């Protein structure tokens, strides 16, 4: 009978149409299987009447049906020697009846408790301790607020400690349920988790059948800590609409609390009035899957081969474990900085377990290549006028750890850090406090350097705790004159902008930069075009409602992050950078990737286009017409300067308006002019021509052994007279004296 049920489940899932009259199974050796029936709400096929009496937690023998994950594949394993023989026998019978392809197809995706595809209204519970611990909080990887008794706590918790408690999920459609993933309560104050549980299924939420393991009710192994997700596979994949998790035992010093995800595949039902609804996805023909290191490299190579004229793959260094940090360059002249063309970068995978950014950049490079070949004018213009750099995996070591666990089993932090245990977003030099400390002791704070702040000596020593990945990215930033960047993260829905680090180490404090208005514009551009962020009816991810801030927030106002890449980029280079929290789910299931691409596609494109806002130009020597490197471009009333690149070209991001701009360089006389920035997303051209100072010209002429021209002699004499006057020396003729 076990073999019959497994075969029947496979047939239904692989496209079999449910019989209008239901299904009859006449065998009295094992459990139950639920099917849709057109003449009644529920057809429950019960093959044996097992007792539903609840035994005492202290006396009842518990036989576990457990499953764990190895890599990407779901394998049945038992933690109980007594149960191993039963599971091995079942596994052998199942293997005899299914091909390898069928096994892969039967690995059903999550319903979407973590990704929020499952609405709060679809989750019910027998009871709950309080609103902040209601059923809507029982989602995998749900994060709690930091206050004890927070309105947004980190799990569903029952109001009673007995075996009659349950968390129920309505799939809305007939679904082939295959498994449950359980997690304890996220809390810094309480230790609560469910250790064993039963699973019950129904088609009407009234009549329930308990999942069976042979002739006994299946008892699934739950958690032994707060955060590790534990997978429980149903002995027989079963079709139903509703599913309940029924805790049986729990941590002895805690109470019944859990977070969960449900695995299941939607089944065709001709009686479902919503069955014709199209599943959300994408029309773009992209490789929507999670790519490990080898697969990522292969995909990048295939894009380069498809579009060799506009792509180049290069590396900026290696991870601690020796994995190369690959970058895809996309430009009409790859491999070369073109005068006046701005440099843009996207960085993903700083935290290895935040995998969505990695896949979005792989999608983006495929999309740009294919649309360029199709002649999409928007994409052609973007690639022709911008040099784009895409780093899909800054922390490949961490990603491989999370990838091996799988999207639903990596938890909240598995793979976040590098192999050495370093959080890369806290690993850059803290230049903020260097600048602020200098301003505090300076007689005139305006004289303190506000850009190109050098890296402190302690950071450059060999024994400094600096990851090789961080050093590689710093060198990359120094080599290329980037103008604009975004750092792609996951686990929330918000765009943050500098400063990330607060003054005086305050845990939360709005800490704006001199370019706060433009940073707010950049953040708003991404957030307002992101399909989920822009939805006013969306649910909050965890415990903070960023819609109150239009889905953007100053990094320091959220939480302080000393040593962030955003702040370093702003204070050490010319590049403006924001952080994009792409999705509530850090590591979405592969089935969610097409949806996430559509959510972010327009945002990724329109954000890149912002690199062309503001002013740009070339700073040249008046005599030689050559570009002047490291010329300082200062916008009056803006306390942040930038510098020209090696060829003398510069880009200054600014909002629309009139600006007085002063440019100077060592050995040159400063030049001032007014520049106007319009509302259209096009840069205003503001070129500058600088003349060398008389002293600089004299130095160069003397170095060459040349003769000092008369005009230079007059300029030098005038300079000496001005210097004497400034020192208070009175100049007079013999008669007047």
Q: Which two tokens stand for residue 656?
A: 């629309």
**3-state SS of 506-524?**
CCCCCCCCCCHHHHHHHHH
Residues β-bridged to residue 43: 35
**3-state SS of 674-715?**
EEEECCCCCCEECCEEECECHHHHHHHHHHHCCCCCHHHHHH
335: left (phi over 0), alpha (psi -120 to 50) or beta: left
Which residues carry out catalysis? Answer: 581
d(CA 355, CA 47): 45
Transcribe 242-262 into DSSP letters.
EEEEEEEEE-TTS--EEEEEE
Tell me which residue of 294, 295, 375, 382 sits closest to 330, measured CA to CA.
Answer: 382
Pairing label, strands 167-183, 123-125 = antiparallel
540, 485 contact by CB (below 8 A): no
Q: Which two tokens stand for residue 378?
A: 């928007």
Give the residue ranges of DSSP H helices in 37-179: 81-97, 100-105
Strand residues in 467-614 grouped as ranges (E): 482-489, 494-497, 552-554, 576-581
What are the helix and strand counts (H, E) for the chain? Answer: 16, 31
Handedness of CA 541, 547, 550, 554 (dihedral sign): negative
Cis peptide before 499 (omega within 30 of 0): yes
d(CA 405, CA 54): 35
What does the radius of gyration of the chain's CA atoms come to, in whole angstroms? 32
Tell me which residue of 559, 565, 553 sits closest to 509, measured CA to CA.
Answer: 559
Distances (CA, A) of 132 to 115, 136, 189, 222, 255: 19, 9, 14, 23, 15
Transcribe 117-133 into DSSP letters.
-S-GGGEEES--SSGGG
């Amino acid at each position: 009978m076990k073999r019959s049920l497994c075969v029947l489940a496979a047939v239904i899932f692989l496209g079999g149409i449910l019989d209008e009259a239901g299904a009859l199974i006449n065998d009295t050796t094992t459990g139950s299987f639920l099917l849709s029936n057109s003449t009644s709400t529920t057809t429950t096929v019960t093959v044996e009447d097992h007792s539903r009496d609840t035994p005492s937690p202290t006396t009842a023998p518990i036989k576990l049906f457990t499953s764990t994950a190895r890599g990407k594949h779901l394998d049945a394993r038992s933690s109980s020697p007594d149960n191993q023989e039963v599971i091995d026998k079942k596994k052998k019978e199942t293997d005899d009846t299914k091909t390898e392809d069928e096994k892969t197809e039967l690995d059903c995706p999550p319903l979407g408790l973590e990704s929020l595809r499952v609405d709060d209204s679809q989750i019910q519970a027998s009871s709950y301790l309080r609103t902040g611990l209601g059923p809507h909080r029982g989602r995998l990887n749900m994060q709690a607020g930091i206050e004890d008794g927070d309105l947004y706590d980190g799990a569903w918790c029952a109001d009673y400690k007995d075996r009659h408690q349950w968390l129920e999920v309505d799939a809305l459609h007939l679904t082939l349920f295959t498994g449950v993933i359980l997690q304890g309560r996220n809390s810094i104050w309480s230790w609560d988790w469910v250790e064993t549980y039963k699973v019950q299924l129904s088609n009407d939420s009234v009549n329930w059948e308990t999942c069976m393991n042979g002739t006994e009710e299946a008892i699934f192994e739950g958690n032994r800590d707060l955060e590790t997700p534990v997978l429980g596979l149903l002995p027989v994949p079963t079709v139903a609409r509703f599913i309940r998790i029924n805790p049986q035992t729990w941590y002895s010093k805690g109470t019944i609390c859990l977070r969960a995800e449900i695995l299941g595949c939607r089944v065709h039902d001709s009686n479902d009035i919503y069955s014709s609804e199209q599943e959300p996805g994408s029309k773009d023909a992209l490789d929507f899957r999670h790519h490990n290191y080898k697969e990522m490299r292969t995909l990048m190579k295939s894009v380069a081969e498809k579009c060799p004229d506009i792509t180049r793959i290069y590396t900026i260094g290696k991870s601690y474990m020796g994995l190369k940090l690959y970058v895809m360059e996309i430009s009409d002249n790859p491999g070369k900085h073109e005068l006046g063309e701005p440099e843009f970068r996207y960085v993903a995978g700083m935290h290895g377990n935040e995998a969505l950014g990695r896949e979005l950049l792989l999608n983006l490079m495929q999309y740009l290549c294919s649309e360029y070949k199709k002649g999409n004018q928007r994409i052609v213009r973007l690639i022709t006028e911008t040099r784009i750099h895409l780093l899909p995996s800054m922390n490949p070591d961490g990603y491989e750890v999370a990838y091996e666990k799988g999207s639903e089993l990596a938890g909240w932090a598995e793979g976040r850090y590098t192999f050495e245990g370093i959080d890369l977003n806290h690993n850059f030099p803290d230049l903020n406090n260097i600048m602020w400390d200098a301003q505090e002791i300076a007689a005139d704070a305006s004289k303190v350097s506000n850009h190109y702040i050098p890296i402190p000596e302690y950071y450059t020593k060999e024994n400094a705790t600096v990851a090789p990945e961080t050093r590689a990215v710093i060198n990359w930033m120094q080599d290329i004159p980037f103008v604009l960047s975004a750092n792609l993260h996951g686990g929330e829905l918000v765009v943050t902008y500098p400063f990330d680090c607060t003054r005086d180490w305050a845990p939360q404090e709005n800490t704006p930069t001199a370019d706060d208005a433009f940073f707010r514009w950049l953040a708003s551009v991404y957030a307002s075009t992101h399909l989920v962020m822009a939805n006013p009816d969306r649910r909050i991810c965890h415990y903070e409602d960023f819609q109150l801030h239009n889905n953007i927030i100053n990094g320091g106002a959220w939480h302080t992050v000393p040593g962030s890449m955003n702040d370093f980029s702003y204070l050490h280079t010319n590049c403006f950078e924001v952080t994009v929290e792409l999705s509530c789910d850090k590591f979405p299931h592969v089935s969610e990737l097409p949806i996430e691409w559509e959510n972010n596609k327009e945002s990724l494109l329109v954000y890149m286009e912002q690199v062309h806002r503001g002013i740009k130009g070339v700073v040249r020597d008046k005599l030689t017409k050559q570009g002047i490197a490291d010329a300082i471009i200062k916008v009056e009333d803006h306390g942040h300067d930038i510098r020209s690149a090696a060829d003398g070209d510069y880009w200054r991001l600014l909002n629309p308006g009139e600006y007085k701009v002063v440019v100077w360089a060592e050995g040159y006389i400063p030049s001032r002019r007014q520049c106007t920035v319009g509302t259209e997303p096009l840069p205003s051209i503001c070129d500058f021509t600088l003349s060398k100072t008389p002293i600089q010209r004299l130095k160069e002429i003397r170095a060459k052994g040349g003769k000092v021209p008369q005009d230079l002699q007059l300029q030098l004499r005038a300079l000496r007279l001005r210097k004497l006057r400034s020192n208070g020396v009175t100049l007079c003729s013999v008669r007047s004296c």
